[in-house]
Amino acid sequence: MVARRAPSTRRCSVDGNPIPAQAGGGFCYLDGAHRHHYSPLPAPLYQSVASAAVFVGDPTPFGYEGQRFTFYGQHPIAASDSLWCFLDGPHFHYFEAPRSALFRFVDAVAFYVGAAPRAEGRKGVESASRVAAVYAPWVTLRPRVSVTPPPEWHGRRWASAAVLPVAAAVPAPAATPPAAARSSLAHVQTRLRAQGLHPERGQ
């Protein structure tokens, strides 16, 4: 077998990104803009900014073991809304929501309370459903959020029942999260209690 580097490497991410299973799996902790020989997958979790594919998703199911922050509902990434997280319901990111008037925090859960142009319209709904389909097998890896959203929040309510089949008590094999992701969740929770981990030092 001849290992050949693809002639055109893809700038994959401005920060961390999932590594596709065919490239070994797991999570890439590289900081800053960098390139990979593999394509940014799963595609619905990437958005383009100036020819870079930026991972915009919850890193938990991909074995990420570092500090995580809890969000509820869709929101812009960073100050502008050129990058938009289409994840409905509770989820994690490896970055913190900005302490600005656009976010309200309830028990450390970030709710975006600004205008939501990217979430609206046919394109927004389609993007959200593609992202939801990627995360459907990993409902159990989402954060448990029981707080009441602030009154200024107008996002979509999310119920895991809407994602799981009705007979959720007997999940199909495909709906079972990978063992690595399951163990990493408990692992991260334990380690976070002990000490804050920096994603750069993850691996």
Single-letter amino acid, residue 142: R
Q: Which residue has the tokens 């990104």?
A: 17
* Smallest distance, Zn ion to C-beta of residue 167, A: 29
70 or 184, CB closer to Zn ion?
Answer: 70
Nearest one of 16, 127, 8, 28 to 74, comparing CA atoms: 127
163 binds Zn ion (CB under 5 A): no
60 within 8 A of 71, measured Cβ to Cβ: no
131 binds Zn ion (CB under 5 A): no
Quote the Cα angle for 125-96-105, to 5°: 80
30 or 41, CB closer to Zn ion?
Answer: 30
Q: Which residue has the tokens 């999310």?
A: 158
Query: Binding residue for Zn ion (CB under 5 A) from 30, 41, 163, 185?
Result: 30
28 or 145, CB closer to Zn ion?
Answer: 28
Q: Using CA atoms, how far apart are residues 62 and 30, in angstroms rounded to an integer?
A: 15
Query: Binding residue for Zn ion (CB under 5 A) from 14, 15, 17, 142?
Result: 17
109 binds Zn ion (CB under 5 A): no
Query: Binding residue for Zn ion (CB under 5 A) from 18, 27, 28, 139?
Result: 28
45 within 8 A of 134, measured Cβ to Cβ: yes
Where do contacts with Zn ion occur on this chain (CB under 5 A)?
12-13, 17, 28, 30, 71, 85, 87
